[in-house]
A and B are shown apart, each in its own frame.
Chain A
Amino acid sequence: MQSSRRSRAGKGRSKRSHGGGGKALPKDAGSRRLTGRTGHSGSYKAEYAAGFAEAAAILRNGAAPLAGHEAKLLMNEHWTRRSLQGALRSGSQQQRGMAFADGFAAGLRLPGGMWVPVALTRSAAAVVMAGPNARLESVQQLLRLPLDEIVIVQEAAGGEAFNRFRALPDVTIIHTREKLGMDVGRTVGARLTNAELVLFVDGEAAVSAEQLAVLLAEAQAGSDLVLADVSGRLGAFRGWSDAARIQAFMNWSLGKPELQANSVAVLPHAWSRPAMERVGLPLLAVPPMAHRAAIEHQLRIRCFPVAAASPAALGTGSMGPADAAKLSAGDHIEALRAAMRTKGARLSLPDGVRRRLAAGRSAT
């Protein structure tokens, strides 16, 4: 296993260190309702102005020109302070944050539309599972978030794919020649960061920074584990994959029917570090085991819809529905058996008043 830690893009390298920000623009960024020069309307205009003023003040105070990672984190610090001070304001918190970020960028004379701030008082990182079909865009979206660290676990990847990710700024890459096997990279990646909030994402399915920001904000707000809510996308039960059925059955059996088919097996999701450590990092390598442990430890689990959640849960991931079903079956049997060690084979569900021995004997 070799590790390549790229130095943070520093001052004076602003062009490069925007992390492909231009490409990572949300699709609708250009079509945003234009109201004046800022592109923000109504109450969001005030946020833009506030961001602009705060950034301009920094420049006026003689700070060296900022760019990239540092500028983004500084912006987020200011936004966090503003959010904590601010009373309830109208409109969406995320929209207001993005208006503030745009203003801040303009104040620093940087292009807008890149950053999605999240009011954070804790450090945050992302772990990217980058399989052979990993897409750059998944990481480009992460670069828009106020993450202290991005760890890319690149398994059995060729030199070409390695170089592609190496070209990104501000990322740590763990590159292995051999395959670690499904989900083992989650533990490997989690061990490489000390961040207090950790986002796990699928490098093969790009999820917009806006959606990931919601998971991060919820983890910051006190949830131990924030899952992608895929249940709404599964449709009628007859069309569910085997994996989804098995996940929903385990949730029901562990007394959490409200989780439906949602699971730690699905990416993306976010953990708080104390929760992750309570469950134990090795369990992250067998996600249903981590899921079972999270329920057993009565962690605060919340679910939010994520449009592009990894299709593994839907049985159509890169491994194919048949293999996904087998893996899910094995993982969930292992997890259920672990639960049975403390709660018995029926997981404390009653047996009524069955006189079973009568069935084993000849009638009397």
Chain B
Amino acid sequence: MPPIPTHAQPALPPAAEAAQHILSPQPALAEPLRLAEAPGDPLVSVIIPVMNERRTLGRVIREAKRIHPSTEVIVVANGSTDGSAAIARAGGARVLSYAEPLGHDVGRGVGANAARGKALLFIDGDMVISAAQLKPFVTSILQGETDVALNDYSGPTDKAAVHSVVLAKHALNALLARPDLKGTSMTAVPHAISRRALETIGAEALAVPPLAHAMAVRLGCKVSAVKHINVGKLNLLRRKRERTNPLEFLIVGDHLEAIDWLARHTDERGGFGDAGRKREFAR
């Protein structure tokens, strides 16, 4: 378990990445690239980790750019062999390219480290969500309403036996004394965070989203669910893929890691006290 930084590194754009940072306008795009016109740092950074998602990536980037006039789109291409990186560059995104896969969600931390915006929006490269749907997440951050704007999606819970990841999310929120968050989580996209939240939890923790979620809640960030987007429906194709490579164990493990952090940050009972137990009588 690597140490968890309490403060992010200053998010300076790395020198090597500048070469990959292509902003040439594309004639194929109907919209002009406002990004190039915005002076100084963008207000919004949209972070898209990508591994072989050429089928949808172009559309995902196009929607991302429409969210706000001052937006940078950062694509973290890792282990991609299908030309995803080239599509991203052509679409006007800043591309951080890694030959090897970084592992699940590590791209979020990498992208956050390079981001310059005041609001950071995290989406996936294989899920097309319209700019209109994404806007509320960014708006609630920019207007200072919240530090972490979550997708108000708790998964299918109208049955007795739920998926282990849905169970883990609900349980973690209960253990964080935030049962009102139900099954919402930084594990799910889309969600946006403020720069303050990024600096509080650190970019590295974003690679383990439930850990980042727990840190945000317990380190004083305002965490709220702002808008419902049914990613379960959009996720159908992915679920098929994951049947052979189950992420289930990874994600539940992430939740346990978050609980471990919570106990180390508070006490062995997560700060919940002992309800007046006189344990000396039970020795």
- Cβ of B233 under 8 Å from chain A: no
Chain A nearest Cβ from B5, distance in angstroms:
7
Q: Is the CB of B179 within 8 A of A242?
A: yes
Q: Is the CB of B281 within 8 A of A336?
A: no
Q: Is the CB of B272 within 8 A of A327?
A: yes
Identify the interface centre among A234, A286, A319, A345: most chain B CB within 10 Å of its CB.
A345
Inter-chain CA distance A345–B252, complex, in Å, is 11
Determine which of A188, A237, A350, A363 lies in contact with B281 in the assembled complex, contact meaning CB atoms within 8 Å. A188
Determine which of B9, B249, B263, B277 lies in contact with A360 in the assembled complex, contact meaning CB atoms within 8 Å. B9
Chain A residues with CB under 8 A of B236: none
Determine which of A245, A323, A332, A363 lies in contact with B113 in the assembled complex, contact meaning CB atoms within 8 Å. A363
Q: Is the CB of A236 within 8 A of B249?
A: no
Determine which of B14, B167, B207 lies in contact with A356 in the assembled complex, contact meaning CB atoms within 8 Å. B207
Inter-chain CA distance A237–B235, complex, in Å, is 21
Contact with B along A317-353 (1 / 0, CB 8 A): 0010001011101111110110010000111011111
Determine which of A333, A356, A359 lies in contact with B263 in the assembled complex, contact meaning CB atoms within 8 Å. A333
Chain B residues with CB under 8 A of A246: 171, 174-175
Known: A350-B250, A350-B253. A236 touches B157 (CB 8 A): yes
Chain A residues with CB under 8 A of B167: 237, 245, 248-249, 252
- Cβ of B168 under 8 Å from chain A: yes
Q: Is the CB of B263 within 8 A of A337?
A: yes
- Cβ of A84 under 8 Å from chain B: no
Known: A246-B171, A284-B282, A362-B14. A238 touches B108 (CB 8 A): no
- Cβ of A354 under 8 Å from chain B: yes
Q: Is the CB of B174 within 8 A of A361?
A: no
- Cβ of A180 under 8 Å from chain B: yes
Determine which of A181, A340, A357 lies in contact with B256 in the assembled complex, contact meaning CB atoms within 8 Å. A340
Q: Is the CB of A325 within 8 A of B174?
A: yes
Determine which of A182, A326, A364 lies in contact with B14 in the assembled complex, contact meaning CB atoms within 8 Å. A364
Inter-chain CA distance A245–B112, complex, in Å, is 32
Q: Of B25-33, B186-194, B198-206, which binds chain A?
A: B198-206
Q: Is the CB of A359 within 8 A of B101?
A: no
- Cβ of A80 under 8 Å from chain B: no
Chain B nearest Cβ from A216, distance in angstroms:
24
Chain B interface residue count, Cβ-Cβ cutoff 8 angstroms: 76
Chain B residues with CB under 8 A of A336: 256, 259-260, 263
Inter-chain CA distance A270–B16, complex, in Å, is 65
Chain A interface residue count, Cβ-Cβ cutoff 8 angstroms: 65
Q: Is the CB of B256 within 8 A of A347?
A: yes
Q: Is the CB of A360 within 8 A of B204?
A: yes
Chain B residues with CB under 8 A of A331: 269
Chain A residues with CB under 8 A of B164: 252, 257
Q: Is the CB of A363 within 8 A of B104?
A: no
Inter-chain CA distance A242–B270, complex, in Å, is 15
Chain A residues with CB under 8 A of B9: 360-362
Inter-chain CA distance A360–B3, complex, in Å, is 10
Closest B residue, CB atoms, query A260 = B161
- Cβ of B240 under 8 Å from chain A: no
- Cβ of B40 under 8 Å from chain A: no
Q: Is the CB of A285 within 8 A of B160?
A: no
Inter-chain CA distance A360–B12, complex, in Å, is 13
Q: Is the CB of A327 within 8 A of B2?
A: no
Q: Is the CB of A323 within 8 A of B275?
A: yes
Chain B nearest Cβ from A236, distance in angstroms:
5
Known: A253-B252, A347-B256. A333 touches B170 (CB 8 A): no
Chain B residues with CB under 8 A of A347: 253, 256
- Cβ of A282 under 8 Å from chain B: yes
Closest B residue, CB atoms, query A344 = B1
Q: Is the CB of B114 within 8 A of A362?
A: yes
Q: Is the CB of B102 within 8 A of A354?
A: yes
Q: Is the CB of B272 within 8 A of A329?
A: yes
Known: A181-B277, A284-B282, A332-B175. A358 touches B110 (CB 8 A): yes
Determine which of B5, B100, B110, B275 lies in contact with A181 in the assembled complex, contact meaning CB atoms within 8 Å. B275
Inter-chain CA distance A346–B76, complex, in Å, is 26
Inter-chain CA distance A240–B206, complex, in Å, is 29
Closest B residue, CB atoms, query A250 = B171
Contact with A along B163-186 (1 / 0, CB 8 A): 010111011101101010000000
Chain B residues with CB under 8 A of A330: 269-270, 272-275
Chain A residues with CB under 8 A of B247: 352
- Cβ of B109 under 8 Å from chain A: yes
Chain A residues with CB under 8 A of B162: 237
Q: Is the CB of B268 within 8 A of A359?
A: no
Q: Is the CB of A356 within 8 A of B272?
A: no
Inter-chain CA distance A181–B257, complex, in Å, is 30
- Cβ of A179 under 8 Å from chain B: yes
Inter-chain CA distance A1–B281, complex, in Å, is 10
Q: Is the CB of A359 within 8 A of B113?
A: yes
- Cβ of A183 under 8 Å from chain B: yes
- Cβ of A36 under 8 Å from chain B: no
| 20 interchain pairs, CB-CB under 8 A | A180-B278, A180-B282, A184-B281, A237-B170, A249-B171, A325-B179, A332-B175, A345-B1, A349-B256, A350-B249, A351-B103, A355-B103, A356-B103, A358-B98, A358-B109, A359-B113, A362-B12, A362-B14, A362-B113, A363-B110
Known: A188-B281, A331-B269, A363-B76. 12 other contacts (CB 8 A): A181-B278, A237-B167, A245-B170, A249-B171, A326-B275, A330-B275, A349-B256, A356-B109, A357-B204, A360-B204, A361-B9, A363-B110
Closest 8 CB pairs of A and B: A359-B109, A349-B253, A330-B272, A354-B103, A181-B277, A249-B171, A360-B204, A285-B282
